[in-house]
Structure 1
Amino acid sequence: MAQFDTIRTATGTRAAQIDEGLRAHMNKVYGTMSVGMLITALAAWAIAGLAVTSDPSNAVAQIGADRYLTSLGGTLFLSPLKWIVMFSPLAFLIFGWGALMRRGSAAAVQLGFFVFAAVMGVSMSSVFMIYTPYSIAQTFIVTSIAFAGLSLFGYTTKRNLSGMGTFLIMGVIGLLVAMVINMFLQSPAMMFAISAIGVIIFAGLTAFYTQDIKNTYVAHATHGDQEWLNKAAIDGALSLYISFLNMFQFLLMFMGQQE
């Protein structure tokens, strides 16, 4: 009996340690994601401020009643460089992130995430040029509330979301193809459909990624590889960061008021 009590106590202690470690892991995920979001917002705001002017004498193009692109704005958004600005974050995710996760240290992976967040901010700077600050703030608040609820659902639900996640990731690929096609078609109806579907897909992925982050930690916590767990936390932060930003952008197409 004494031996059984010892085993039970050890098991309970180990479970408590995993729970405590999971809380710290999730705090790192959300903390890293929040820093990345702040970097993106500051980069987007700063670039937009440098790219737009109200002085027509120093402008290269007019984009509104009293808004003009500076030479920097013209270089970023009117020259062929715009394609690099637009697609460099996607290229990094496809070709760079996996290699960094495999070969880099946790510190290098975190730095890579923050650099990616800054590049994403440059790519998203046009948001501050197109939409009013009020509508951007309003959409951000709505996205934050939705994200919090969806992430909480993914963390607490007993339902296995892995099947849904596979389906949604396939949906992202289809969504990217549709967006590329619509770059040439410029169809408002197609853009509306893409925005609606995009919100649904990334809402589902928020719940899926949260559950996956939790399950990954629980499955590997007993191995004691803290370096790997630190990298996994940053990778999870990136997944949630991308879901949040995409939800925000697609919702902004519905809620945003243009300048």
Structure 2
Amino acid sequence: MYGSDQQTNYGQPFAQPQYQQQGYAYAGAATPTMTMNGQTVYSFERARHTSTTQAYGEMTLGLLLTALVAVITQVTGALDRFLMTTGMMGWIGLAVVQVVIAVMLGVRIQTMKVATARTMFYVYAALTGFTLASIFEAYSLPSIGIALGLCVAFFFVLTMISLTTKKDMLKAGPILMVALLVLLVGEIILMFIAPSHTTLMVTAALGLIIFAGLTMYDAQQTRAMFDMAEQSGDTQMIQRISIICALNLYLDFVNMFLYLLQLFGSNDD
């Protein structure tokens, strides 16, 4: 079980905005009103694009930090020394800290200071990098590179599809979360009653499908949350949303990468 295999259920604190077409009484007043509305729509779309870009930017920085910490940890042997000192309790402690950070961000993001939330996100990313250093011992560098390249490609395609399609993926959120919970419980049970390479491949394939759906869901939810926050004009809330959305997208990416590594990874040097 992976330390980052936790997709927190943040819920939907912001409902999707409802837009109503403006009515015009007469043609003489229509021209200036339409101009004003055009400027408003342009400003709104530009703000939404900027906010969405910020969320993906935060996610990217978190991933880069994770990669950097993982490489440094592997080179220095810090994880091996940590586990020799703490044993299994060390793994459990790291997992608990990561879960606590994710849950706190999800529950208290609306009242938390932006700087605090951002710091917690990057601490989470660093801890994930520390634990992910173990993949260098389990898989060869070419396998890790292939899995990472596939993950980047899949994530980009899924994001583009979700942000351009008219299909509402937000309705699939609860189903995907239940499927993820069932998968995690099933992985733990199968690890004891039917441990095999086939079982590992099947659960990895199912996990990949679920997180592909969650990637599309989180992409649309990110846009919906920004829509509502930007209408309210609360800049602090927009900053908070960018962080929580970055965490959601970060978790999607990391878990997709891990499942791809299980499917296509090899320990052959």
Equivalent runs, 1:208-223 vs 2, <5 Å: 208-223=217-232
Residue number in structure 2 paired with 1:187? 195
The equivalent residue for 2:266 is 257
Q: What is the match of residue 84 of structure 2?
A: 74
- Structure 1: 5+ residue stretches without partners: 53-68
User: What displacement does 1:16 show?
Assistant: 0.2
1:173 to 176, 181, 186: 181
The separation in 1 between residues aligned to 2:193 and 2:128, in whole angstroms, is 25
Q: Is the CA contact (8 Å cut-off) linking 2:101 and 2:120 kept in structure 1?
A: no
Segments of 4+ moved more than 3 angstroms: 69-73, 182-186
The one-letter code sitting in structure 2 at the alignment partner of 1:49 is: V
User: In structure 2, do the counterparts of structure 1 residues 136 and 222 end up closer, same or farther at CA, with 3 Å as the change threshold?
Assistant: same
The correspondence for 2:241, drawn from 232, 242, 246, is: 232
Range that drifts further, 154-163 or 140-149:
154-163
Contact 2:66 2:125 in 1 (8 A): yes
Distance 1:235 1:214, change over 3 A: same
SS at match of 1:80: helix
Equivalent residue, structure 2, for 1:157: 165
Q: 1:41 to 1:186 in 2, by over 3 A?
A: farther
Deviation (angstroms), 1:129: 1.8
Number of equivalences: 241
Contact 2:82 2:90 in 1 (8 A): no
Which of the residues 15, 20, 28 maps onto 2:46? 20
Q: Which has the higher contact order (CA 8 A, sep 6+)?
A: 2
Q: Residue type matched to 2:251 in 1?
A: I
Q: Is the 1:50–1:70 contact (alpha carbons within 8 Å) kept by the matching residues of 2?
A: no
Deviation at residue 186 of structure 1 after TM alignment: 6.0
1:132 aligns with 2:140: yes
- Amino acid in structure 1 at the alignment position of 2:49: R
Aligned to 1:10: 36
Contact 1:85 1:122 in 2 (8 A): no
Structure 1 residues 142-185: Cα deviation after superposition (integer angstroms, max 9, x where no partner)? 10000000001111111111221221111111122122224434
Using the alignment, how far apart are the partners of 1:117 and 1:71 within structure 2?
A: 20
Q: Gaps spanning 5+ residues in structure 2: where?
A: 1-26
- Write the distance in 2 (CA, Å) between the matches of 1:160 and 1:182: 34
Matches within 5 A, 1:64-143: 70-75=80-85, 78-94=87-103, 96-143=104-151
Report sequence identity in percent: 26
Aligned position for 1:248: 257
CA distance in 2, matches of 1:44, 1:73: 15
Instruction: Kindly indicate whether the alpha-carbon contact (under 8 Å) linking 1:43 and 1:121 is maintained by their aligned counterparts in 2.
Output: yes
Which of 36, 39, 43 matches 2:65?
39
Name which of structure 1's ranges 8-17 and 185-194 shifts more when overlaid on structure 2.
185-194
- Aligned counterparts of 2:135 and 2:94: Cα–Cα separation in 1: 13
Alpha-carbon distance between aligned partners in 2 of 1:71 and 1:32, rounded to the nearest angstrom = 31
**TM-score normalised by L of structure 2:** 0.83
Contact 1:195 1:251 (C-alpha < 8 Å) held by counterparts: yes
Equivalents in 2 of 1:150, 1:108: separation in Å? Answer: 30
1:78-131 alpha-carbon deviations (Å, 9 max, x no partner)? 44212223443233323x223441331222211111111011112212112211
Q: 1:70 to 1:20 in 2, by over 3 A?
A: closer
